[in-house]
Amino acid sequence: MLIDELRKANIEALKNRDKDKRAIYSVVINRYDLLSKEKACDDVDLAKIINKVKKELKEEKDGYLKAHNEIGAKRIEMQEKALEPFTPPMLSRSEIRAILLKLPDKSMKYVMSYFKNNYEGRVDMTVVRQVHLLLWDTILSSD
């Protein structure tokens, strides 16, 4: 499982005295462990946690940049890069569009439910909504 690889990377960061990697790996592992006490977790749950942590890191980096703290922003950037090997590839807009075209029901409710159930952790739901709206506009304008 992906969590095992993350735990190994955490131990490796500890051995290498890499405080930034160790800090971000520990955050993700702790959140995973907390969630696993509530329910059985898998790689999809870990992907959701990683994506959420990456979003928080981006917001934190933006705050550092607004405050003109380049050192803090660089540290956050290093933590973002440390999570990259554990982040599942996100579906592109073209991949989302191709999936949308194959669906039997093109209603927003069905589309969002379908992607949430089948691609959770591998797709940004905001992007799904945007692609759906663009596709729907294209279909309506061609009529």
DSSP 26-45: HHHHHHHHHHHHHS---HHH
User: pTM of the prediction?
Assistant: 0.74
Separation CA 62–CA 11 (nearest Å): 29
Separation CA 123–CA 117 (nearest Å): 11
pLDDT 10s digits, 87-111: 888 899 999 999 999 999 888 999 9
Task: Examine the pLDDT at 5 and tell me if it is beyond 90.
Answer: yes
Separation CA 9–CA 13 (nearest Å): 6
Give the lowest-confidence range in 2-16, 86-100, 128-142. Answer: 128-142
pLDDT 10s digits, 35-50: 999 999 888 889 889 9
* Fold held by 2-86: Hypothetical Protein Yqey; Chain: A; domain1 (1.10.1510)
**Confidence (pLDDT) at 110:** 93
User: Look-up: residue for tokens 């279909």?
Assistant: 139
Angle of helix 19-38 relative to helix 2-15, nearest 10 degrees, comes to 150
> What is the domain partition of the chain in residue ranges?
2-86, 93-142
